[in-house]
A and B are shown apart, each in its own frame.
Chain A
Amino acid sequence: MRLGGLALKKKMNWIVQYLWLIPALPLVAAGIIAVNKQPQRKLAASLAIGSMAVGFLLSLCAFAATLHHGEGVFREVYSFPWIKFGGQWMDIGWVLDPLTAVMLMMVTFVGMLIFIFSVGYMAHDQNFMRFFCFLALFASGMLGVIIANNLFLFFVSWEIVGLTSYLLIGFWYHKPSAAAAAKKAFITTRIGDLGLLLGMVWLYAQTGTLNLYTADHTGCLEASALSQMATHVTIGGLGVTTAIGLLIFLGAVGKSGQVPLHVWLPDAMEGPTPVSALIHAATMVAAGVFLVARVYPLMSFGAPLTEHGASVTTALTVVTWVGAITAIFSASIAVAQNDIKRILAYSTVSQLGYMMMGLGVGGVAVGMFHLITHAFFKALLFLGSGSVIHGCHEEQDVRKMGGLRKYMPVTFAVYGIGMLALSGFPLFFSGFWSKDEILHHAHKWPVSQIPFYLGCAGALFTAFYMTRQVALVFYGKYRGHADESSHDQSHSSHSSHSSHVAAEDGHDTPHESPAVMTVPLIILAVFAILLSVLGTPAWPWFEGYLKGEATILDWSRFGDTWVLMLVSSVIVLTGITLGVFLYGKRQRQTAEEKDVLEAAQPVVFRILQNKYYIDELYELTVIRFNAFAASFCDFLDTWIFGGAVLLVSYATLGLAWLYRLTDEYFVNLGFDTGCEALRESGGLSSKLHSGRVQTYLRVIGVALVLLILFLIWGRKA
């Protein structure tokens, strides 16, 4: 295998060889920032952003390398032996294929924008350096996940990502809620990672390698390994591939917050908003989806392709169902939330559900396309909410906002674009096309139609709660503080460029954010619109790109999709009008006023507001059991093991006493006398060393005499 890697290197594209630079640069940046003691904000920011920019350029090169190469999927790997496991070498390496390239571009680009944004957002935080150090570290981990050609490297980067997510959620660790959220996120994702680890180990046991692809096609995702694996069957007639796939999917569930492990994601919003945007909307949570896409060959192996390019296996069915349930579930929860970021968080969860569903029903292209588009417009939304929060002086409750349209027009404009993209407003927004793809494939799914209906419902909810949010935040009048009259232009303008001054005197009129925050928003908004052209049914360039096929413009493809497009547009428009009717028409006057739905259906609303009491459920079951187990272990520890340890320790103490006695009364005395003798002899010999030259000369003379005598005597003998 190593020989293969070396042989490959000759005709390899240079970018493949230097792909490692992309994750390495942010890592180096993080290291440099970490070792710089005094707060050098400029250095930190410029290092992080610069590394991301260079990474973006490199990934552009990588992308260019994956284009135009004729038929078949472009895939080049570069791997080298790393450590020796028992008998054989474990290689690590990286792979460059369309999946990697497109993810690289997305992550580096969005990440760069978010870095720039957070320069403005964190401007007044005294832990600026730490923040950027973590961000850069996260970026390197995420990029490592993307380029990894080896599940081991993948897992390492994956854990780095998890760690940085923990650190960043708990960035404001002085807030107990943040600390708790960080712990929750870490532990919950650990559950998933355990599954991933088991899957990896099983895979290694089965195929003897963790390389996904290799030069000589012996990788664990390639036909030889898979077919040799597919012959095995484990408990309950479950195919080994299926089992491994499900275990790995468990990791994905944990990472991208699918039901039932979704609970950590909403709480993760305790972190700074850029973190929410970068990690919990754009990139990290997408890593789970990416993982599924990465091991898609494993999951889809052995099943015949259906007529529209997706294949049906047990694993994929599970994926689909989990995705669908997650989508509708969290979309419904989002309806009843009041925290602007929580709403977005639940929408994220539901969108991730959509992606999973897309992967399950429609193959890699569908899910990934929604992932990309979602990354852009969700980052846009989060950053927009961040700008709003920044403008409202760290206020997050939508009920306390309102009428911000006047105060921050730019934010309003881009936020509106994001909202329309997310809710899938027809024709002009990327969200529409990607979601439509998913629904389309779900509709064609041979197993069942239920996921399709769930998806439609989710779309309805999505449109509805986004409209509600926008209506509450941007329309009506500002409910941030009691008296409107106290705000005068000079004060607001003054507070606009130094908002920490304003933050000190509690309530003040909201203000537009500085350019360093708005410009990334605008860029993201542009992309949120433009990306739509890549995935229309008429010209499914993205799919072709991923599959490595040329794409032809063919309007006739609308023939079988226009009905569905119509349906989804109708759904979306219904949701929006519903939202406008309920919240736009009659604005609430005060922050304390009851919500409209709450007035109508208090029970349902409470259930939704409390997230179906999932946390409480876990509280009652998992955590209770956990506590019990813990106490049991404590008991064991204290009495059984502790007793044994105590016994051993007493025995040791006795021995120690014995040793001490011997030491003191035999060894020490001996050594003391020995040392004494040595010291005295040294003193005696140093007496000889009287610093008088002439004594030495005398000795030399005597030595000369002796030497001559010896010579004569030796001559005689």
Chain B
Amino acid sequence: MTTLQICLLTSALLFATGFAGAVTRRHAILVLIGIELMLNAANLNLIAFWRFGPHPELLTGFIFVLFSMALAAAEAAVGLALVIAIYRHKKTSNLDEVRDLKG
């Protein structure tokens, strides 16, 4: 099993973990944490492919990771702000009780 595959498996496991958390936990912040983990898994993939890819000197995956980190930071900020706002309004952060968008 090559290093690349190790990295990919790790990222897959990380992704699965984050996904499981995001899907099963009921606290909003934990869902956000899971999303962060998934993002990191994706970044790991990118870096791995950059490292072992055909053209590492182009730094494509590298820069992509940097940008996705910026995105992740923004996403975390906005998401947590949303959680706080929801908590202010409904005095809860349980996703089971936050379902105003029900069709």
Contact = CB atoms under 8 A, between A and B. Distances in A.
- Find out whether A and B make contact in their complex, taking CB atoms under 8 A apart as touching: yes
Interface of A: 685-694, 697-698, 701
Closest 9 CB pairs of A and B: A689-B103, A691-B101, A686-B103, A691-B99, A691-B102, A697-B23, A694-B23, A692-B99, A693-B95
Given A697-B22, A698-B23, A701-B19, A690 B103 contact: yes
Contacts of A697: 19, 22-23, 31
B94 to A, nearest CB: 11
Contacts of A693: 31, 95
Contacts of B103: 685-691
B100 interface: yes
A203 B101 CA distance: 75
Interface in B1-52: 19, 22-24, 31
B57 interface: no
A502 to B, nearest CB: 74
A385 to B, nearest CB: 81
27 contacts: A685-B103, A686-B103, A687-B103, A689-B102, A690-B99, A690-B103, A691-B98, A691-B99, A691-B100, A691-B101, A691-B102, A691-B103, A692-B95, A692-B99, A693-B31, A693-B95, A694-B22, A694-B23, A694-B24, A694-B31, A694-B95, A697-B22, A697-B23, A697-B31, A698-B23, A701-B19, A701-B23
Contacts of A691: 98-103
A691 B103 CA distance: 7
Interface string B83-103: 000000000000110111111
Nearest to B24: A694
Contacts of B23: 694, 697-698, 701
Contacts of B95: 692-694
Contacts of A694: 22-24, 31, 95
Nearest to A692: B99
Q: Which of A688, A690, A691 has the most CB of B within 10 A?
A: A691
A15 to B, nearest CB: 67
A652 B44 CA distance: 78
Contacts of B101: 689, 691
Residues of A contacting B: mostly: helix
Contacts of A687: 103
Given A688-B103, A691-B99, 8 more contacts: A690-B102, A691-B98, A691-B103, A692-B95, A692-B99, A697-B19, A697-B23, A697-B31
A691 B99 CA distance: 4
B31 A692 contact: no
Nearest to B34: A697
Contacts of B31: 693-694, 697
A701 B35 CA distance: 13
B11 to A, nearest CB: 14
A693 B29 CA distance: 13
A385 B101 CA distance: 81
A213 B98 CA distance: 82
Nearest to B25: A694
Contacts of A689: 101-103
A695 to B, nearest CB: 9
Contacts of A690: 99, 102-103
Nearest to A685: B103
A698 B24 CA distance: 10
A698 B95 CA distance: 14
A689 B19 CA distance: 21
B96 A692 contact: yes
A351 B101 CA distance: 86
A687 B102 CA distance: 8
A704 to B, nearest CB: 9
B37 to A, nearest CB: 13
A21 B96 CA distance: 73
B24 to A, nearest CB: 8
A697 B21 CA distance: 11
A693 B99 CA distance: 8
A394 B19 CA distance: 96
B34 to A, nearest CB: 9
A691 B23 CA distance: 14
A690 B22 CA distance: 17
A690 B99 CA distance: 7
Interface string B60-103: 00000000000000000000000000000000000110111111
B12 to A, nearest CB: 11
Contacts of A686: 103
Nearest to B96: A692
A450 B102 CA distance: 101
A678 B96 CA distance: 30
Contacts of A698: 23
Q: Which of A685, A690, A694 has the most CB of B within 10 A?
A: A694
A316 B24 CA distance: 106
A701 B22 CA distance: 11
Contacts of A688: 103
Nearest to B100: A691
A692 to B, nearest CB: 5
Nearest to A697: B23
A694 B96 CA distance: 9
A689 B101 CA distance: 8
Contacts of B24: 694
A690 B97 CA distance: 12
Contacts of A701: 19, 23
A685 B100 CA distance: 17
Contacts of B19: 697, 701
Nearest to B102: A691
Contacts of A685: 103
Nearest to A688: B103
Contacts of B100: 691
B35 to A, nearest CB: 9
A701 B15 CA distance: 11
A452 to B, nearest CB: 99
A688 B101 CA distance: 12
Nearest to B35: A697
A685 B102 CA distance: 12
B99 to A, nearest CB: 4
A585 B31 CA distance: 117
B77 to A, nearest CB: 18
A689 B100 CA distance: 11
A687 B22 CA distance: 22
A584 B101 CA distance: 100
A688 B100 CA distance: 14
Contacts of A692: 95-96, 99
